[in-house]
């Protein structure tokens, strides 16, 4: 086949994305949208982030679009499954899926009167962090703030005209012994975010590449302080 011409055909198929939405019970609530790391799912992220959710917040746990099998160490147990967000195979399509999913959650919840579209927060762990930064600095009017846990910034962050400058509030959590995103790397990323106008708070936790339960009170307090404040407001840290 090596001597034959090859044509790549893109086959459009309908594929649903999934999120679990938990209303606050109050109209026009602040909304926290949480995104798991590689291999996670919407249920596992909801269990993890639940303790960090402030009173009166609506909550959505979004699931990555790319499923894969997870083989348990105990081979007598059934295969599990996890989800990812992006690979280096046509990454622009995965980025578009992420952005469309955030737009869909925000638009539906706002149209139903359940959330305040001006008070939407994104929380990401590991692989989903850079995607959230891409979204927030492409559509800053759609995001009030970001909680970023043990993840990076887009590889094309410094490309001229790629992203917009905006006073997005960011809580950036680093693990002191994280082998992938150690504190000095997170600090460098925070400075890069600041060059585009972000208001970044960095906190170093005594953990590795993880989202520990000890972080939940910190996240909850940060969200509570910003839920009723305008972007760029100077707040107590």
Cα dist from 175 to 107, 109, 141, 186, 223, whole Å? 34, 33, 30, 9, 20
The domain that holds 115 is classified in CATH as 3.40.50.1820
- Within a domain: residue 181? yes
The tokens for 165 are 């400058």
**In-domain check, residue 97:** yes
Cβ partners under 8 Å of residue 72, min gap 6: 78, 79, 80
Note whether residue 3 is domain-resident.
no
Asked whether 30 and 123 are in contact (CB, 8 A), the reply is no
For residue 2, being part of any structural domain is answered with no
Spatial neighbors of 23 by CB under 8 A, at least 6 apart, are 29, 58, 114
State how far the Cα of 225 lies from the Cα of 126, in Å rounded to an integer.
Answer: 24
Question: What is the per-residue pLDDT across 17-65, written as a single tens digit (0 to 9) for each?
Answer: 999 999 999 999 999 999 999 999 999 999 999 999 999 999 999 999 9
Residue 234 lies in a domain: no
- Predicted confidence at residue 230, as pLDDT, reads 55
Q: Which of 185, 192, 221, 46 is nearest to 133 (CA)?
A: 192
Residues of the chain under the 70 pLDDT cut? 1, 229-237
Please give the C-alpha separations between residue 199 and each of 66, 126, 152, 229, 234, in angstroms, as whole numbers.
32, 20, 16, 13, 9
Residue 29: phi and psi, rounded to 5, are: -80, 155
pLDDT of residue 98: 98
Residue 233, in any domain of the structure:
no
Asked whether residue 235 is domain-assigned, the answer is: no
In a domain, 121, yes or no: yes
Instruction: Please give the tally of structural domains in the chain.
Output: 1
Confidence at residue 229, expressed as pLDDT on a 0 to 100 scale: 58
Helical (H) or strand (E) element with 97: helix 91-111
Q: Which domain holds residue 81?
A: 19-227
Could you give the CA distance from residue 64 to residue 45 in angstroms, rounded to a whole number?
Answer: 11
Are 33 and 135 within 8 A, CB to CB? no
Q: What is the pTM of this model?
A: 0.93
Distance CA 237, CA 196 (A): 21
């Amino acid at each position: 086949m090596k001597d034959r011409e090859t044509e790549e055909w893109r086959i459009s198929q309908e594929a649903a994305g999934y999120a679990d939405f938990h209303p606050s019970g109050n109209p026009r609530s602040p909304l926290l949208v949480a995104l798991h790391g590689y291999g996670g799912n919407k249920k596992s992220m909801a269990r993890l982030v639940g303790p960090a959710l402030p009173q009166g917040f609506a909550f959505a746990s979004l699931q990555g679009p790319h499923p894969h099998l997870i083989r348990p160490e105990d081979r007598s147990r059934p295969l599990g499954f996890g989800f990812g967000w992006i690979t280096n195979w046509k990454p622009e399509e995965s980025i578009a899926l992420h952005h469309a999913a955030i737009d869909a959650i925000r638009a539906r919840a706002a149209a139903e009167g359940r959330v305040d579209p001006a008070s939407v927060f994104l929380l990401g762990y590991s692989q989903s962090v850079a995607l959230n930064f891409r979204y927030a600095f492409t559509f800053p009017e759609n995001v009030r703030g970001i909680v970023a846990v043990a993840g990076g910034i887009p590889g094309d962050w410094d490309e001229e005209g790629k992203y917009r400058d905006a006073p997005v509030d960011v809580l950036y959590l680093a693990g002191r012994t994280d082998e992938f995103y150690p504190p000095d790397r997170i600090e460098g990323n925070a400075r890069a975010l600041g060059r585009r106008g972000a208001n970044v708070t960095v906190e170093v936790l005594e953990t590795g590449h993880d989202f520990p339960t000890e972080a939940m009170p910190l996240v909850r307090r940060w969200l509570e302080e910003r839920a009723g404040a305008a972007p760029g407001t100077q707040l107590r840290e």
